[in-house]
Amino acid sequence: MTQCHCGSGRTYEECCGPLIAGTSQAATAEALMRSRFSAHCVGAYEYLEATTHPDIRDEASADEIRQWSEHMRWTALTVLRTEKGGEEDNRGIVEFQADYTMRGVPQTLRETSSFVRVDGRWLYEDGHVHSQTVRREEPKVGRNEPCPCGSGKKYKKCCGRA
């Protein structure tokens, strides 16, 4: 038994596994969001499509989600806040941070997602991705400045070539 990818502290088999397998349904918006993160981790793209509201399903087919996600290795999920989305609610909001690596570079996705219950089933309705400021550890090198590699050439003629 392995720990669940969603960070709940439970095993995958008792947490997100049954949701992704279709043997149970998410009781809360947060549970659905966590299972969707786990679905990215295990490549369950059909589950991601099936748990997306029909009004926006055209925007993200399983194949499109696969193309977007398969280059990433999802590493951690942190739920930052929830608003409603409980077992008695019909709408909910979950703000989260998802850490991943893309081509070996660590990155973070921060999103506020909206969920709605349709016919007793939670669905992803919409998401707002929060932009992040990228901070450089080194000062930016100008195109016409000497290349920091020490070659004596201008940066644009050396390491700055595209």
Fill in the DSSP letter of residue 24.
S
Please write the tens of the pLDDT for every residue from 18-63. 999 999 999 999 999 999 999 999 999 999 999 999 998 877 788 8
Residue extents of the structural domains in the chain: 12-133
pTM passes above 0.85: no
Could you tell me the CA-to-CA distances from 4 to 77, 96, 100, 149, 156 in Å, in that order?
11, 16, 16, 44, 46
**Under 8 Å between Cβ of 112 and 127:** yes
Instruction: Tell me how far apart the 2 most distant CA atoms of the chain are, in Å.
Output: 67
Structure tokens at 43: 């490549």
Q: For 12-133, which CATH class?
A: alpha beta
- The chain-wide mean pLDDT, for the chain, equals 90
